[in-house]
Structure formats: structure tokens, C-alpha cells
Amino acid sequence: MDNYNLIKTMHVTCAAISVSGFAARGVWMFMGSSLLRHKLTRVLPHAIDALLLLSALWLLLLSGQHPTGRDWLTAKLVAIVLYIVVGSVALKRGRTALTRALAFVVALGLFAYIVAVALARQPWPFA
Ligand code: HEM
């Protein structure tokens, strides 16, 4: 496997771990589980997300692209910022259970959109 595909595999793996961790934390939050306060639960997601973004930057460097150089990359960048903000409303900042639940569903929807954009390389992949 060449360098580019190796980093892409790492990128996709981190993305899969990131969303699984987010979903697990959401479920633990709604169940009131103490696992949410476990040290690993608080540290690991940041490490995985840092690797996800680092691998994204690496892919951009290797392919000589700029994050705003193509519509689909800009769409991905905007969507990931929204995913981070909405995700933190779901897991931390939301004041009521309803706000958190809605934010949780929207964050998962944004994640699905990011994957669809990555696969179709189109800012609107559902056409
Ligand atoms: C939640 C965040 C992200 C997810 C779920 C995600 C998902 C993916 C997936 C599934 C692929 C593989 C596409 C394929 O096999 O054709 C990919 C590739 C890629 N992603 Fe991401 N990504 C994320 C964040 C980002 C960010 C923030 C950037 C930079 C703006 C980025 C840049 C790239 C690049 C340059 C590729 C390689 C495209 C190619 O050569 O096919 N990704 N991403």
C-alpha cells in the first residue's frame, strides 16, 4: 500500500472510531452511565479526533490540495466544524434532555453527510 492510501486508511479508521465513540457517549449520557466520566472516555476521543484531523491535513499536503480549493473539501470543513459544535451541545452544553437528544441526532446526520461528501466528492452528494 502506498503512503497516500495508508494515510487514507488511517483517516477512515479514525472517522469510524470517532463516530462510534460519539454514539457510545451519547447512549451512556442518556442512560446516566458512570462510564461517561471514566478517564479514557474523556481523553481518548480527543486523541482520535486529533489523529482524524492530522490525517486530513496530511492527505491535503500529499495531494497538493487546499481545504477550500474544492467545493467538496470546503463543504467537509464547514460540516466538521458544525459537527464539533453540535456534538458538544449533545454531550455537554445542551441544557435540557430534548436539546441534547436533538443535537445528538443532528450531529449523527452531519457525520453521515461528511462521509457521503467524502465518497461522492460532491458538496451535495444526494442529487
Ligand atoms: C468527521 C470527519 C471526517 C470524516 C468522517 C471523513 C471521511 C472520509 C472518508 C470516508 C474518506 C475516504 C473517501 C474515499 O474512499 O474515496 C475521506 C477521504 C479524505 N478526506 Fe476526510 N473525513 C473527515 C474529515 C476531513 C477533513 C476535515 C478534511 C479536510 C478538509 C478531509 C479531507 C479528506 C481528503 C483530502 C480525503 C482523500 C480524498 C481521496 O483522495 O479520495 N477529511 N474522508
Q: What is the mean pLDDT of residues 35-49?
A: 96
- What's residue 1's pLDDT? 76
Query: Ligand 1 pocket test: which of 1, 3, 11 has the largest number of ligand atoms within 8 Å of its C-beta?
Result: 11
- Please state the separation of Cα 33 from the chain's center in Å: 23
| Rounded (to 5) percent helix, strand, coil in the chain | 80, 0, 20
Q: What is the DSSP-derived secondary structure letter of residue 93?
A: I
CA 11 to centroid of ligand 1, rounded, Å:
7
Residue nearest to atom 20 of ligand 1 (CA): 56
Domain boundaries in the chain? 3-120
**pLDDT number for residue 127:** 78
pLDDT band at 64 (very low <50, low <70, confident <90, very high): very high
Q: What is the DSSP letter of 108?
A: H
C-alpha cell at 100: 441534547
Question: Residue 57: pLDDT above 90?
Answer: yes
For ligand 1, residues with CB inside 6 Å are 8, 11-12, 15, 52, 56, 59-60, 63, 67, 73, 76-77, 80, 83, 111, 114-115, 118-119
Q: Report how far ligand 1's centroid is from the alpha carbon of 27 (Å).
A: 26
Task: Yes or no: say if 75 and 123 are a contact pair by the CB < 8 Å rule.
Answer: yes
Question: Does residue 74 register a pLDDT over 90?
Answer: yes
Range 61-82 average pLDDT: 95
pLDDT above 70: percentage of residues in the chain: 100
- 31, pLDDT greater than 80: yes
The cell 463516530 sits on which residue? Answer: 19
> Using 50, 70 and 90 to split pLDDT, how confident is the model at 89?
very high
Reported as a single tens digit per residue, the pLDDT across 109-118 is 999 999 999 9
